[in-house]
Amino acid sequence: MKYVTEYRDAALVKNVIEEIRRTVTRPWTLMEICGGQTHAIVRHGIDQLLPPEIELVHGPGCPVCVTPLELIDKALAIASQPNVIFCSYGDMLRVPGSGRDLFSVKGAGRGCARGLFSVGCCGTG
C-alpha cells in the first residue's frame, strides 16, 4: 500500500501536527463517521496529538456498520417485489440479511436493487 511508511514517520507526523496547530485559529468540531476511523484515531493517539481547539465527535457509524439485520431483511422484501426499483448506497448492496443480500436480488430477476454512488467510509464505495 502506498504511503504506509510515510504515515509511520515520526518526523513527518510531527510536521503535520505543527501545521494543524498553525492552521487552527478558532475552535473546530470534527465528526468521524465510521467506527474504523474512530478506532484508528484513538489507537494511534492522534486524538492526543491534536490541539485543544479541535474537538472530535464520534459519529453514528456508517450504514454498513450500524444498519440492523431486521432493516436489511425489510429492504430485501421490498426490493424483491415486482415493478420495484429499490435504490441504496452501493456499499449496502453486499451487506447480508438473514439469507442473502441486495446484490443477489439485483441479479435474481425478481426485483431490482440499484446502487447509488457513494464514497464508502469502509473503502467499499
Query: How would you write the pLDDT of the chain (125 residues) with one tens digit per residue?
Result: 566 676 678 888 889 999 999 999 999 999 887 778 888 889 889 999 999 999 999 887 777 778 889 999 999 999 888 888 888 877 788 888 998 888 887 655 666 667 665 444 444 44
Evaluated on CA atoms 41, 43, 44, 46, the torsion sign reads: positive
Domain ranges of the chain: 4-61, 64-116
Q: What is the pTM of this model?
A: 0.55
Residue 11's SS3 state is helix
What is the CATH architecture of 4-61? 3-Layer(aba) Sandwich (3.40)
